[in-house]
Amino acid sequence: MEEKKYLLFVYGTLKKGFWNHHFLQNEKFVGKAETKEKYAMYVTRIPFVVKNEKVSTIKGKVYEVSKETLKEIDRLEGHPEWYKRELVPVVVSVNGKKKEVKAYVYFSLDPRGVIKEDGIF
């Protein structure tokens, strides 16, 4: 029986080139993406996305991850006490074509820092 996979939208330190990407090194990269809805991104040394403020779409990447990887990232993100993981619509670009999918996004429960109007970290 094939293991169930989950779509995960990452916008910060889990992206390639950042210090937490090693959690995704064995997972499948699906494509560049952005949230369908507008949210607010705050940045200190790391980004925080807030669900209830509508500033811009958030730009990131989507990965297909295993249940175990999702659990590891839940621990990293402090889900559900520090960040809360929620399933939301995102638009992913695969081979030049845009497709709407539902992916997990980690939302901050404690926003701080400077707001990023463009939604890019």
Please indicate whether residue 61 or residue 112 has the higher confidence score (pLDDT). 61
What are the pLDDT digits (tens) for 49-94?
999 999 999 999 999 999 999 999 999 999 999 999 999 999 999 8
- Is residue 77 among the annotated active site residues? yes
Please indicate whether residue 64 or residue 96 has the higher confidence score (pLDDT). 64
Q: Which of 77, 81, 86, 100 is catalytic?
A: 77
The yes-or-no verdict on residue 118 having pLDDT over 80 is yes
**Angstrom distance (rounded) from CA 75 to CA 93:** 28
Q: Provide the percentage of residues in the chain whose pLDDT is more than 90.
A: 90
The yes-or-no verdict on residue 111 having pLDDT over 90 is no
Rg (CA), the chain: 14
| Local confidence band at 1 (pLDDT 50, 70, 90 cut-offs) | low
Strand ranges in the chain using DSSP code E only, listed in sequence order: 5-10, 28-35, 40-43, 47-50, 59-66, 83-94, 97-108, 114-116
The yes-or-no verdict on residue 101 having pLDDT over 80 is yes
- Please state the length of the chain: 121
The closest of 51, 61, 41, 60 to 112, measured between CA atoms, is 41
Q: Are 103 and 91 within 8 A, CB to CB? A: no
The yes-or-no verdict on residue 110 having pLDDT over 90 is no
Residue 81 has a pLDDT of: 93
End-to-end CA gap in the chain = 38
Q: What is the average pLDDT across 15-41? A: 97
